[in-house]
Amino acid sequence: MNIREIARRARVSHSTVSRVINEVQSVDPKLARRVRAVIDEVGYRPNFQARALARGRSHTVGLVVSELSGGNPFFSEIILYFERAAVQQGYEVLISFADTETQPDHIAVCVARMQERQVEGVAVLTFGMEEQLAKCAIDVPVVYAGADHDLRGVRFVRINYLPGFRDAVRHLAEFGHERIGYLSGRLGWSSMRTRFDSLRRAMKLASVPFDKDLVAECDHTWDGGAEGMRTLLNLPKPPSAVLCCNDVAAVGALKALAARGIQAGRDIALIGFDDLTICRFTQPALSTIQFSPRELAALAFQGLLEEIQQTPKKTNLEYKTRFILRDSTCPPRLLGADGLREVIRTP
Amino acid sequence: MNIREIARRARVSHSTVSRVINEVQSVDPKLARRVRAVIDEVGYRPNFQARALARGRSHTVGLVVSELSGGNPFFSEIILYFERAAVQQGYEVLISFADTETQPDHIAVCVARMQERQVEGVAVLTFGMEEQLAKCAIDVPVVYAGADHDLRGVRFVRINYLPGFRDAVRHLAEFGHERIGYLSGRLGWSSMRTRFDSLRRAMKLASVPFDKDLVAECDHTWDGGAEGMRTLLNLPKPPSAVLCCNDVAAVGALKALAARGIQAGRDIALIGFDDLTICRFTQPALSTIQFSPRELAALAFQGLLEEIQQTPKKTNLEYKTRFILRDSTCPPRLLGADGLREVIRTP
DNA sequence: TTGTAGGCGTTATCAG
DNA sequence: CTGATAACGCCTACAA
């Protein structure tokens, strides 16, 4: 069923049908009604591919996220809210997971595939591997999220990690913590690197000494967090408080703590990052630094839309993190020569 | 940059360029090389919209999931593995979240939108609201996942809930549990309804008495699970073991238990459903019924592909759940007249 | 206001 | 093996 067939049945030309579909006002109401009747009767729906071809606009955008994060609820929410924003503006979204682990240039591959599909723009929300983009020629509006490494003038959501870390560290400092540890994630990922840098700046601001031995560079996954926490606990003098690069790792860390009979919020202070829903349901509820996928996704789409439409005045795309206090922190405990050692069951 | 421009530069006709692109063997190797050189030089990539229009095949499929599940890692994995299977077969995927809560017919709306985009097929993985589809005319291959309510001959992944529930109930029965509770999710959702029915059949098979007072019909969300568990705990005689309609609700339930000083795996037996990664990281590790998003997504795509290609012999699309034993179960405790009452702190 | 004709970038069918 | 020419379904001057 196409526009010509509708035209035939309504005894008008196909251009008239086209006008009716596109709500061009100049059509005679009677004709319009006749056309609409036929359209409803046969259940006709225009072919967007053809329309896109003719108009040169696909009304489709791409979203690339990181495959490693498949089981991470953070990304599931990113996708949800991005799609919602897109649909609201009449866009459809093509999704793609970039396997940055085994294929360094996979992001570029995904973007290229989307370009062939004539997307009008693509949001790359991989949080840390987008440098790859700089290497290849991409001639479609792109937006990504990161801290401040301006990539060839590409638009990005500037993520300000400092406020969250500053308040978190301040909170720990008020408790008297002096040995603050960190589960860093892979520092090869730029967003992990930046989180780490922000933490150090926050510590400097709060005059808390930084000790690189208290940093465990682990995967930012459930298992990675557990592994990292075990590493810290095996230190001669473990930290009295630990921050994490994300909530998923923090939950893993909780597991490692529990395995040794250590309870966060009583024996050690633990702070996550992201503010996933699950934070409210861990035992104890996890204090964290909020990094709302909802707002982030909305900002990213907004930025992308402005790039696509070449809007002159641009929204300030800055996302500020903030500290969320729950129950997983406490004053330093048993800070003798052996640090936490006393409460740790021998493994 | 289009096929004609390439043709001009390579001094051939655009048909020849088309043949080169589509690797038609009959092209003179010399010409082919010349064309390829130009293509590489200018970085030309064919326009899929146009190709789709001409060929009548878009090489795009749609995936509709439930919006309510935004924060649920289960869906994030579904999307990931579906996309992976699709890309492997040269398909791109259009994603859509159906808001089944406020708009009962939203699934149909999403499918319709995708049809306008000429998707070759759509997978509706909403687990329980797909009945809506029956009401509207959809003339595109569709696959969904459900138990056994055959929908107008539409292809679906048959989910066999029984094996998982059977082994879970058997396990509890061996422990001597006679008061088994259930956090059911909304029974208006067909998949929730079917899980419930399967549980009852499993209980009958194991000769465990069924008591409808021990069923809490709650949301299948984090908060819903907590709420449901509180309801059960407030019963005059709470159950000694509780199964849940999904892991997310189970984690919520764990929270409610902890709030009253009750520990799963010691004071009460708790079993989830889905086998999300997080099950290994709760305290205690959550026994659950496996419902792998990975296999499910792969099966769904496989089925969709067969529908699209009208393959004569069809894969048997059955997914069998299975019980995964971890640490959250235990024998019934304090089963006096007051059930668990004794260990419950007054709220 | 309406219809005719041409074009969007491909593929596919013919002659040559 | 190659190159016109006509689709694919729609939009849009331009002319009537």
Place of tokens 């071809």: A53
* Residue count (chain A): 347
Parallel, antiparallel or unpaired: strands A322-324 and B288-290 = unpaired
Nucleic chain C contacts, protein chain A, residues 36-65, CB cut-off 7 A: 50, 53-54, 56
Cis ω before B46 (30° cut-off from 0): no
DSSP state string for B87-102:
HHTT-EEEEEEE-TTT
Instruction: Tell me, yes or no, whether A275 and A300 share the same domain.
Output: no
Least confident interval from A36-45, B151-160, B210-219, B260-269: B151-160
Contact at 8 Å (CB) between A106 and A98? yes
Q: Tell me the pLDDT of chain A (347 aa) as tens digits.
A: 899 999 999 999 999 999 999 999 999 999 999 999 999 999 999 999 999 999 999 999 999 998 766 567 788 889 999 999 999 999 999 999 998 778 878 888 899 999 989 999 999 998 876 766 666 667 889 998 877 666 667 888 999 999 999 999 999 999 999 999 999 999 988 889 999 999 999 999 999 999 999 999 999 899 999 999 999 999 999 999 999 999 999 999 999 999 999 999 999 999 999 998 899 999 999 999 999 888 999 999 999 999 999 888 788 889 999 999 999 999 998 643 344 445 444 43
Q: Is A205 contained in some domain?
A: yes
CA dihedral sign, ordered B125, B126, B131, B134:
negative
Q: Provide the pLDDT for residue A336.
A: 39
Distance, in Å, from the CA atom of A220 to the CA atom of A226, rounded to the nearest integer, reads: 10
Q: Provide the pLDDT for residue B77.
A: 84
Q: Provide the pLDDT for residue A20.
A: 95
Distance, in Å, from the CA atom of A214 to the CA atom of A126, rounded to the nearest integer, reads: 27
Q: Is A67 contained in some domain?
A: yes
Rounded to whole angstroms, the distance from the CA of residue B51 to the C1' of nucleotide D7 is 13
Q: Provide the pLDDT for residue B345.
A: 44
Place of tokens 């024998």: B331
Q: Which of B80, B88, B101 to mutate to test the interface with A (most CBs of A within 10 A)?
A: B80
* Domain total of chain A: 3
Distance, in Å, from the CA atom of B227 to the CA atom of B135, rounded to the nearest integer, reads: 34
> What is the residue range of A36's domain?
3-46
Q: Where are the alpha helices (DSSP H) in chain A?
A: 3-10, 14-21, 29-42, 48-55, 73-88, 106-116, 131-135, 162-175, 190-205, 222-233, 247-259, 293-309
Q: Tell if A134 CB is < 7 Å from nucleic strand C.
A: no
pLDDT tens per residue across span A258-304: 999 999 999 999 999 999 889 999 999 999 999 988 899 999 999 99
Instruction: Tell me, yes or no, whether A175 and A211 share the same domain.
Output: yes
Inspect the interface and report whether the beta carbons of B97 and A76 lie closer than 8 Å.
no
Q: Provide the pLDDT for residue A333.
A: 86
Instruction: Tell me, yes or no, whether A174 and A156 share the same domain.
Output: no
Q: Is B51 contained in some domain?
A: no
Q: Is A53 contained in some domain?
A: no
Place of tokens 């009452």: B341
Instruction: Tell me, yes or no, whether A127 and A68 share the same domain.
Output: yes
Instruction: Tell me, yes or no, whether B125 and B212 share the same domain.
Output: no
Contact at 8 Å (CB) between A44 and A76? no
Distance, in Å, from the CA atom of B144 to the CA atom of A5, rounded to the nearest integer, reads: 32
Instruction: Tell me, yes or no, whether B308 and B171 share the same domain.
Output: no
Distance, in Å, from the CA atom of B35 to the CA atom of B9, rounded to the nearest integer, reads: 8
Instruction: Tell me, yes or no, whether B140 and B229 share the same domain.
Output: no
**CATH code of the domain in which A24 resides:** 1.10.260.40
Kindly state the tokens that stand for A40: 């409803």
**CATH code of the domain in which A194 resides:** 3.40.50.2300
How many Å separate Cα B136 from the centre of its chain? 23
Q: Provide the pLDDT for residue B347.
A: 39
Chain B residues whose beta carbon lies within 8 Å of the beta carbon of residue A73 = 71-73, 76
Q: Which of A277, A294, A328 to mutate to test the interface with B (most CBs of B within 10 A)?
A: A277
Fill in the amino acid letter for A149: H
Kindly state the tokens that stand for A62: 């791409």
For residue B78, the chain A residue with the least C-alpha distance is A70
Chain A residues whose beta carbon lies within 8 Å of the beta carbon of residue B251 = 278, 281
pLDDT tens per residue across span B39-98: 999 999 999 999 999 999 999 999 999 876 656 778 888 999 999 999 999 999 999 999
Helix or strand or coil: residue B184? Answer: coil
Q: Give the nucleotide at minimum CA-to-C1' distance from A28.
A: C1
Instruction: Tell me, yes or no, whether A174 and A208 share the same domain.
Output: yes
Helix or strand or coil: residue A38? Answer: helix
Bigger pLDDT: A122 vs B148: A122
Nearest to B285 by CA among B304, B267, B270, B306: B270
**How many of the other CB atoms lie within 10 Å of CB of A104?**
14
Instruction: Tell me, yes or no, whether A330 and A198 share the same domain.
Output: yes
Parallel, antiparallel or unpaired: strands B322-324 and B288-290 = antiparallel
pLDDT tens per residue across span B225-278: 999 999 999 999 999 999 999 999 999 999 999 999 999 999 999 999 999 889
Distance, in Å, from the CA atom of B157 to the CA atom of A132, rounded to the nearest integer, reads: 38
Instruction: Tell me, yes or no, whether B264 and B311 share the same domain.
Output: no
pLDDT tens per residue across span A291-347: 988 899 999 999 999 999 988 878 888 999 999 999 999 999 864 334 444 544 443
Chain B residues whose beta carbon lies within 8 Å of the beta carbon of residue A113 = 87, 92
Distance, in Å, from the CA atom of B209 to the CA atom of B173, rounded to the nearest integer, reads: 10
In strand D, the nucleotides that come within 7 Å of a protein beta carbon are 1-5, 7-13
Instruction: Tell me, yes or no, whether B28 and B156 share the same domain.
Output: no
> In this structure, what DSSP letter does residue B277 have?
G
Rounded to a whole number of angstroms, the distance from the CA of A78 to the nearest CA of chain B is: 9
Residue A240, class by beta-carbon neighbours within 10 Å (0-12 exposed, 13-18 middle, 19+ buried)? Answer: buried
> In this structure, what DSSP letter does residue A289 have?
E
Place of tokens 């903030």: A322
